[in-house]
Amino acid sequence: MSQYPQSPLMGQMMSQPLLISSLIQHADRYYPTTEIVSRRVEGDIHRYTYHDCHQRSKKLANVLKDFGVKMGERVATLAWNGYRHLEAYYAVSGSGAVLHTINPRLHPEQIAYIANHAEDQYLFFDLNFLPVVEAVAPLCKTIKGFVMLCERDRMPASTSIANLLCYEDLLSAASADYSWPLFDENSASSLCYTSGTTGNPKGALYSHRSTLLHSFASALPDALNVSARDVVLPVVPMFHVNAWGLPYSVPLTGAKLVFPGPALDGKSIYELFEQEKVTFSAGVPTVWLGLLTYMGQNKLKFSSFKRTVIGGSACPPAMMKAFRKDYGVEVVHAWGMTEMSPLGTCCTLLSKHEQLSEEEREAILSKQGRAIYGVDMKIVDDAGKELPWDGKTYGNLLVKGPWVIGSYYKQEGGDVLEDGWFPTGDVAVIDIEGYMQITDRSKDVIKSGGEWIGTIDLENIAVSHPAVLQAACIGVMHPKWDERPLLVVVRKPGMEVSREELLQFYDGKIAKWWTPDDVVFTDALPIGATGKILKNKIRDTYRDHQLPTA
Ligand code: ADP
């Protein structure tokens, strides 16, 4: 398998493949009584331990064996964050099959497209997705059985699905006597499709080795910093890049796991945080906005929550400040993508930064951060020439590393690497200390008179205004400058701010010519399947917007 030459003297350590099954075996052996708590789709709270999870994962592995699922075959899930989904994570990958987590927020046609593309053999789904599954089942050409993640009494009296099975029935009939097989660590373990904002979704096919290395690296102190003393609640869904690897890295560290199920509103999340004494969480900015709004309205505080990782889209500095100042929660800004398993960079300070003023430290922490060990990055111009790390020069961001994609599943898109590096599609600057800051996605950047305007800065300034809840900046056609920025704003409930006030708010905060030409107010911004603001939809809506000519 290795493309590299062998030394005449090879190391003499045990040869043991890095396999996902070893994580749950470790958690069971060393943290058997540590809890996994889930808010279920059924509405109640379920609790059990790593030992119980391991036992049931082995039962599920026996079920898959009886189904005849072979190594390398894909088994799909359509499920929220919960213990049964975790069992599928370990049983499917651990037995040598490939876990394909499907985003249930996708359109049924897209779900069917990726299930067919992946040639999924079975689909495990949460009971509230029954209508979705009924809609997609006739379109799915390879799925032999649909397993509903529930007890018998929740099964529908009648359904159009041909082979509908009950998860708990299958598990109670199965034995927990199962030995996890050993196989090549480069075998495929799981499959995630990119959300495909343009064109069809493409699959990132992870291996056991890439997943294990990503788990080790992401648990490090300057990354997610998870330990056996933590209580971790992954808000990021297990269908969004494997919940950023937390279902693997948390059992690796022995921390307690808390799953929120489908209840991702501010109130439900807050109550679960308090009830289970959550210390650490991770999610995209839009979810945190809901939590902070709920807490502000009800004058609530956290009693245990200490640290959260925010990524997936740029975390506005105003949100970081609110977390730290108002709630005593440290925010670690992280950047990555489906093609990177997903973690690439995390932003934490160096000891020399302790001398800096609070403002200077905040400025550093608002960046996307330094590469975690294993990931290397560089910025290049359009001709591929490497650009300096001076904190000013921006260029296309390229990455490489053992958990970075080499090619898409089934070679979709052909050869995607540029000289061994993966082009991320992001535009960034890197400073002398290696702190990277995303200025934009290359497709969102505004091209004004031959110069680039990064929209993230413009949005961050807008949301630091006390009356602004959310903001998105897009380029619209301009007769002289090609494109100029238009700011689309959602005001906080009951708050007022005018177009003129907002435009003035930019004075002194940014180069004058970056200031948006116009502001429009709206009730809500379109949010995509992974909780991100959909810029392409906003561009469609305001395509013909007439900018003031003055
Ligand atoms: P998709 O590309 O399908 O939307 P991903 O979750 O893989 O799904 O998105 C990866 C992209 O999200 C990155 O390329 C980048 O543009 C954006 N992103 C992720 N984290 C951040 C961050 N901290 N700041 C700014 N952009 C981010």
The CA 95 to ligand 1 mean position distance, Å, reads: 31
Take atom 5 of ligand 1 and give the residue whose Cα is closest. 337
Q: Is 426 in the pocket of ligand 1 (CB under 6 A)?
A: yes
The pLDDT score that the predictor gives to residue 386 is 98
Residue 129 confidence class, pLDDT cut points 50, 70, 90:
very high
How far is residue 529 from each of residues 299, 481, 542, measured CA to CA in Å? 30, 33, 21
Contact 104, 133 (CB under 8 A): no
Check if 337 has its Cβ closer than 6 Å to any atom of ligand 1.
yes
Does any ligand 1 atom lie closer than 6 A to the CB of residue 424?
A: yes
pLDDT in tens, 174-186: 999 999 999 999 9
pLDDT band at 127 (very low <50, low <70, confident <90, very high): very high
Ligand 1 atom with minimal separation from the 424 CA: 14
Residue 1: is its pLDDT beyond 60?
A: no
Is 80 exceeded by the pLDDT of residue 197? Answer: no
Beta-ladder partners of 234: 282
Report the nearest-CA residue for atom 25 of ligand 1.
314
CA of 130 to the centre of ligand 1 (A): 30
Note the pLDDT tens digit of each residue in 212-230. Answer: 999 999 999 999 999 999 9
Atom of ligand 1 nearest to the CA of 528: 4
Contact 195 CB / ligand 1 (< 6 Å): yes
Write down the pLDDT at residue 450: 84
Ligand 1 atom 27, closest CA: 313
Return the pLDDT at 23: 98
Ligand 1 site-directed mutation target among 236, 319, 426, 436, most atoms within 8 Å of CB: 426
For the CA of 342, the closest atom of ligand 1 is 7
pLDDT confidence band for 85 (50 / 70 / 90):
very high
What amino acid positions are annotated as catalytic residues?
194, 339, 447, 452
Given a cut of 90, whether residue 452 has pLDDT beyond it is no
Pairing type for strands 330-336 and 343-346 reads antiparallel
Instruction: Encode pLDDT of 275-301 as tens digits.
Output: 999 999 999 999 999 999 999 999 999
The separation between CA 233 and the C-alpha centre of its own chain, rounded to angstroms, equals 14
Do residues 493 and 523 touch, judged by C-beta distance below 8 A?
A: no
Average pLDDT, the chain: 96
* CA 398 to ligand 1 center in whole angstroms: 14
Query: How many angstroms separate the alpha carbon of residue 420 from the centre of ligand 1?
Result: 21
Q: 374 and 213 in contact (C-beta within 8 Å)? A: yes
Could you tell me if the CB of 335 is within 6 A of ligand 1? yes
Q: Which of 236-240, 399-403, 468-472, 546-550 bottoms out in mean pLDDT, i.e. has the lowest?
A: 546-550
Residues 6+ apart with CB under 8 A from 510: 457, 458, 461
Task: For ligand 1, atom 24, name the residue with the nearest CA.
Answer: 314
- Residue 283 CA to ligand 1 centre (angstroms): 12
Distance CA 409, CA 186 (A): 14
The answer to whether 422 and 398 have CB atoms below 8 angstroms apart is yes
pLDDT band, residue 530 (cuts 50/70/90) = confident
Q: Model confidence at 473, in pLDDT bands (50, 70, 90)?
A: very high
**Mutate which of 284, 309, 335 for ligand 1 pocket (most atoms within 8 A of beta carbon):** 335
Ligand 1 contacts CB of residue 368 (under 6 A): yes
Residue 196 CA, closest ligand 1 atom number: 3
Q: pLDDT per residue over 287-341, tens digit each?
A: 999 999 999 999 999 999 999 999 999 999 999 999 999 999 999 999 999 999 9
Q: Tokens standing for 523?
A: 């009730």
DSSP letter string, 254-312: T-EEEE-TT--SHHHHHHHHHHHT--EEEE-HHHHHHHHHHHHHHT---SS--EEEE-S
Rounded to the nearest whole angstrom, what is the distance from the C-alpha of residue 342 to the centroid of ligand 1? Answer: 9
- The residue whose CA is least distant from atom 10 of ligand 1 is 337
Mean pLDDT of 489-511: 95
Is there an atom of ligand 1 within 6 Å of 190 CB?
no
> Mean pLDDT across the stretch 46-55?
98
Q: Which residue has the higher pLDDT, 201 or 521?
A: 521
Q: Which two tokens stand for residue 502?
A: 């907002």
Q: What is the DSSP string of 348-360?
A: ---GGGGGS-HHH
Per the structure block, which two tokens stand in for 321? 């400040």
Give me the helix-helix angle, 83-94 and 50-67, nearest 10°. 50
Calpha distance 454→458 (Å, rounded): 7
The yes-or-no verdict on residue 396 having pLDDT over 90 is yes
Whether 483 and 452 have beta carbons less than 8 Å apart is answered as no
Report the nearest atom of ligand 1 relative to the CA of 334: 23
Q: Does any ligand 1 atom lie closer than 6 A to the CB of residue 201?
A: no
pTM listed for this prediction? 0.94
Neighbours of 35 (CB within 10 A): 16
Q: How far is the CA of 140 from the centre of ligand 1 (A)?
A: 29
Task: Categorize the per-residue pLDDT at 198 as very low, low, confident or very high, splitting at 50, 70 and 90.
Answer: low
Ligand 1 atom closest to Cα of residue 337? 7
The verdict on the CB of residue 437 being under 6 Å from ligand 1 is no
pLDDT confidence of 200, banded at 50, 70, 90? confident
User: Is the CB of 311 inside a 6 Å radius of any atom of ligand 1?
Assistant: yes
Q: Give 50 Cα–ligand 1 centroid separation in angstroms.
A: 32
Q: Answer yes or no: are the C-beta atoms of 280 and 308 closer than 8 Å.
A: yes
Ligand 1 contacts CB of residue 439 (under 6 A): no
Of residues 528 and 78, the one with the higher pLDDT is 78
Q: Which residues pair with 508 in a beta bridge?
A: none
Cα–Cα dist 421/428, whole Å: 16
Residue to probe by mutation, ligand 1, list 438, 444, 460, most atoms within 8 Å of CB: 438
Structure tokens at 310: 């925010």
Residue 529 has pLDDT above 90, yes or no: no
Do the beta carbons of residue 515 and residue 509 sit within 8 Å?
no
Question: What average pLDDT score do residues 65-71 get?
Answer: 98
Write down the pLDDT at residue 14. Answer: 95
Sign of CA dihedral 175, 176, 182, 186: positive
Distance separating alpha carbons of residues 54 and 26, to the nearest angstrom? 10
Q: Atom 4 (ligand 1): residue with closest C-alpha? A: 195
The helix (run of H) or strand (run of E) holding residue 487 is strand 482-491
Closest CA to 217 of 82, 83, 336, 363: 336
Strand partners, 336: 343
pLDDT given for residue 196 in this prediction: 60
Q: State the distance from the centre of ligand 1 to the C-alpha of 192, rounded, in angstroms.
A: 14
Confidence of residue 550 (pLDDT cuts 50, 70, 90): low
Question: Is 312 a pocket residue for ligand 1 (Cβ < 6 Å)?
Answer: yes
Ligand 1: centre distance to CA 129 (Å) = 27
Q: Which two tokens stand for residue 399?
A: 């990455």
pLDDT tens across 243-268, in order?
999 999 999 999 999 999 999 999 99
pLDDT of residue 359: 95
Res. 479: pLDDT tops 90: no
